[in-house]
Structures are given as structure tokens and as C-alpha cells.
Structure 1
Amino acid sequence: MLSNNSELLSAAIWVCITLLVYLGSLLIYRVLGSRPLFHPMIFCIAILAMLLFYAGVNVKEYQSYTGLLSWLLGPATVALAIPLYTQLNSIKKNGLGVMLPIIVGGALAPLLALIGLYFLPMEASIKLSFLTKSITTPLAIETSQYIGGIPELAVVIVIFTGIVGAIFAASIYRLLGVKSEQAQGIALGTVAHAIGTAQGFQMSQKVGAFASLGLCINGVLTAIILPIIFFLFS
């Protein structure tokens, strides 16, 4: 909690720095041709990490200073319903064709993560943090905490997953011959959450809308189902 004028000033400064760094990263991304490999999140994280290091500010302090930005993740996620609404008729027309891939993809993401990490010498809390890798940050924080993961680590994993999805999605689509905008969007939103959805809007409005659908449905289902599974089998 920020309790005095000095902390409030520090919070205002770091919020402004974060926004300026992101805007600068976005400018670099556009100057370099808006290629996924130069995604603004990559530059933003790298620059902020260096600034925090040289300023002597640890991650917990930075999180307390920029709590407003973290809070805004919730409304930003809800706002994705707007482009989703524009594709409502298409979603109704392709009901099962839309829902089934999201459910299957949402189930496979944590399952493959668990299988891949099962034999590695890691603490259980670290492994559990990977289970929320394909849902958006606000949901990942709450879900990982409930199932015994580490929320801070879950956030890092979520961001990394989203960046990887945004970088390689277009190449994978070309390699596999996936031309359907509906399929591209659903895959991006289901696997690469908000960052993938943002990349989807770079591709087209329709891809972004279906990515929003994948993001929302997969996020809600995972956030509900994972705690239930752990409650039943713990």
C-alpha cells in the first residue's frame, strides 16, 4: 500500500515511465515493419528490467508503484467483448465449430505443460504455475494462487507464452496452410491469450474478434475447471 506523498510520487513516476517505455517500444515495432519478432512487449520488458536494475528498485516495489496498471488489466480484458460483439452472427452460425476447438485447445495447453514438466526436478508450486500459461494475466494470477502456484511466476510464464504465440503464429499458419481467419483467431486467443489477441487485430479485425472469443472462453473455463480439479483430487 502507498502510504505517503513520497511513495505516491514514486508511483506516478513509474507509471509514467512504464507508459513511455511501452509507447517507445510500440514505435520501434512499427518502424521495424510491425514484424512479430519485434513485438513491443519484448522491448518493453527488456528496457524496464534495465531501468529497474540501475534505479535499484526491486520487482515488489515496482508492482506496488504500478498497481493501477495491473488493476486496469481487468477492464481491458472485459473491453474485448466489443470486437467480439461485431462477430456475434458468425459465432452463432458456427457454434460447435467455434466452441469445440477452444475447449480442446484450452484442455490441451495445461495438460501438455504438466506432461512436459512432470519428470523435471522442480518444486510442485513451480510446475503448477505453468498450468495457467494460456489464460490472460488477471485470471492467471487468481487461478495459480488458488491451485498452489506462484502468481508472480505465472505472470512471467503467461507473458512469455503470449509473446511466443504472437511471434510464431503467422509462420505456423503459413507452414500448415491455415487460411481461415476464424481458425487463426481462435488458435491465437486460446493459446496466446491477450498478447496473441492483440497480434490477431494486427492481422485483421475478424482474426482479432475470434481471438477475443478464444481468450474469453478459454480463460473463464480454465479459471473455473482447474480449481475444481485440484479440489477434487487434492
Structure 2
Amino acid sequence: MNADVWLHAGQAVVHHALFPLFLTLAAYAAGNWMYRRAGQSPLVHPLIMAVAIVIIVLKTLGLSYHDYFESTRFLHWLLGPAIVALAVPLYGELKQLGARWRALMAGLVVGSVVAAVSAMMLVLLLGGGVALAKAMSTKSVTTALALVLAQEIGASAPIASTIVLVTGLLGAVIGPWLLPKLAPGDEAAHGMAYGTCAHAIGTSKALQISETCGAFAALAMGMNGLLTALLLPMLMAWWGH
């Protein structure tokens, strides 16, 4: 009898509307703990760990992604204010931004175009299909924007979000090794590269490096998302797919 009571209580908790929200927050807290224990290694990024934990729990409990998504829609809404809040560190770098805005914007535009076009060309050259090429074109924007763009251009949203996650992780791993060699001591340029190529995960890594690096990464992430959202549908229309 006691076992039945505990079973029913557990089912009531799992199927409660707030359980997915609790699971998300608990998974991120666990991922953040693992991240600190691993010495802040990008390979153990809290976002990566949280995603893995949520997937394992959903599969184990037999919960659908649709129900999980609907119950955590509030968190998706918070992505907007969170991204806008990244403008706060940029405010302190207005002087440097004003002095270098032409070079920084030119690099941003080139980076946005090259990120999308080169990814698509690489897929097609290696024998991948059009659907995969479309999903790859969204690799350097945030997950929230990639999901919207994927629907607009006819790409697979789950594949696009996975590619975005892998891109951000690679940027956070390779960036600290590569960028100091390409532009020694230029934290503004490093930040622009992180934000343009590795979106939110790269920006998170840039904020750990310095406030300047994080500020320019936040700017690049937002501007790259805007440019990609404007250019990608036009590119697809020109391509004829």
C-alpha cells in the first residue's frame, strides 16, 4: 500500500505542469556545479550538461518534448530580455566602439555571410543534402533564432538547434587557443569573433575572459543574429530552395 502511495505521488509530481520548469533549473544548477568542478572547461559547459541531463530524464520518464516545451515557454520568453541585458557591459566600451566601429562592422558583415555560406557549401561539397545545408546555415546564431529561421527556410529545427550547440562549443574550445595568435592583445576583436561565430556559448566564454571581450561578443552576437535573419531568407530565395 505504501509503495502504491509513493508511486502515485511520484507520477503526480512528474506530470505536474511545473515539473519541466523545475527539471530545467535543476539540470542547469547541476551542470554549473560540474562546470566549476571541471575548472570551467568549455567541454563541460553548463548548457551542454543541462541539455544532456534533461534529455536523459525525459527519456527515462517517458515524457514528450512537446509537453516539456509548452511547460517551459516562459523561459524562452526570458531569452529576449536576457540578450538585451548584455548591452550593459557594452555601455562601458562606447568610446572604443566609436573609434573602431567601421572595422568592427566590416568584420561582422563578412563573418555573418561567410559563416552561413561556407557551412552550406561544405555540406554540399561533402555530399550532404539540401535539408542539412539549410540547417547548417543557421549554425552561428542563438538557438532561439535558429529555431525561427529553420522554420522560415524549411530546415529541420532539431538538427539546426543541435548544430548551433556544437558550433558554440567548438568556438568556446578553439577560441582561447586561436584568437590570441591571430590578434594578440585585442580583446575587442576577440569578442567580435566569439559573438559572430559562437553566439551565446562563445559570449559566455568571452565574459569570463574580460568585460571588454564580453561586451563586444554580446554586440556581435546580437548584430550577427539580425544580419543572418535578414540575409538568409534572401540567400535561399536566390538559391531557389
TM-score, structure 1 as length reference: 0.89
Report the equivalent of 1:211: 217
**Residues 47 and 8 (structure 1), Cα distance of their counterparts in 2 relative to 1, 3 Å cut:** closer
Report the equivalent of 1:87: 93
- 4+ residue runs over 6 A deviation: 6-9
Once the two structures are superposed, what CA deviation does each residue of 1:164-222 show, in whole Å capped at 9, x if it has no partner? 11122112234546331011101000000111101110111110001011111111011
**Residues 232 and 112 (structure 1), Cα distance of their counterparts in 2 relative to 1, 3 Å cut:** closer
Q: Is contact 2:104-2:192 (8 Å) kept? A: yes
In structure 2, how many angstroms separate the alpha carbons of the residues matched to 1:8 and 1:231?
45
Among the aligned pairs, what percent are the same residue? Answer: 36
1:155 aligns with 2:161: yes
In structure 2, how many angstroms separate the alpha carbons of the residues matched to 1:46 and 1:186?
29
Residue aligned with 2:125, SS: coil
In structure 1, how many angstroms separate the alpha carbons of the residues matched to 2:59 and 2:150?
27
Report the equivalent of 1:116: 122
Which residue of 28, 34, 40 maps to 1:28? 34
Q: Is contact 1:173-1:179 (8 Å) kept? A: no
1:195 aligns with 2:163: no
In structure 1, runs of 5+ residues without a counterpart are 1-5
In structure 1, how many angstroms separate the alpha carbons of the residues matched to 2:144 and 2:132?
18
Moved more, 141-150 or 13-22: 141-150
1:65 aligns with 2:71: yes
Once the two structures are superposed, what CA deviation does each residue of 1:99-122 show, in whole Å capped at 9, x if it has no partner? 111111111111111111013454
**Residues 221 and 8 (structure 1), Cα distance of their counterparts in 2 relative to 1, 3 Å cut:** farther
Report the equivalent of 1:3: none
Q: Is contact 1:81-1:212 (8 Å) kept? A: yes
Q: Is contact 1:163-1:195 (8 Å) kept? A: yes
Report the equivalent of 2:233: 227
Residue aligned with 1:223, SS: helix
Which residues of 2 match residues 161-180 of structure 1 at below 5 A?
A: 161-176=167-182, 178-180=184-186
In structure 1, how many angstroms separate the alpha carbons of the residues matched to 2:178 and 2:36?
22
In structure 1, how many angstroms separate the alpha carbons of the residues matched to 2:127 and 2:68?
31
Instruction: Supply the AA of the counterpart residue of 1:98.
Output: L
**Residues 88 and 8 (structure 1), Cα distance of their counterparts in 2 relative to 1, 3 Å cut:** farther
Q: Is contact 2:203-2:214 (8 Å) kept? A: yes
Q: Is contact 1:10-1:65 (8 Å) kept? A: no
In structure 2, how many angstroms separate the alpha carbons of the residues matched to 1:80 and 1:147?
28
Report the equivalent of 1:54: 60
CA apart distance, 1:73: 1.6
Residue aligned with 1:132, SS: coil
**Residues 183 and 45 (structure 1), Cα distance of their counterparts in 2 relative to 1, 3 Å cut:** same
Q: Is contact 2:124-2:130 (8 Å) kept? A: no
Instruction: Supply the AA of the counterpart residue of 2:207.
Output: F
In structure 1, how many angstroms separate the alpha carbons of the residues matched to 2:212 and 2:92?
9
Instruction: Supply the AA of the counterpart residue of 1:205.
Output: E
Query: Highest Rg: 1 or 2?
Result: 2
Q: Is contact 1:39-1:167 (8 Å) kept? A: no
Instruction: Supply the AA of the counterpart residue of 1:103.
Output: V
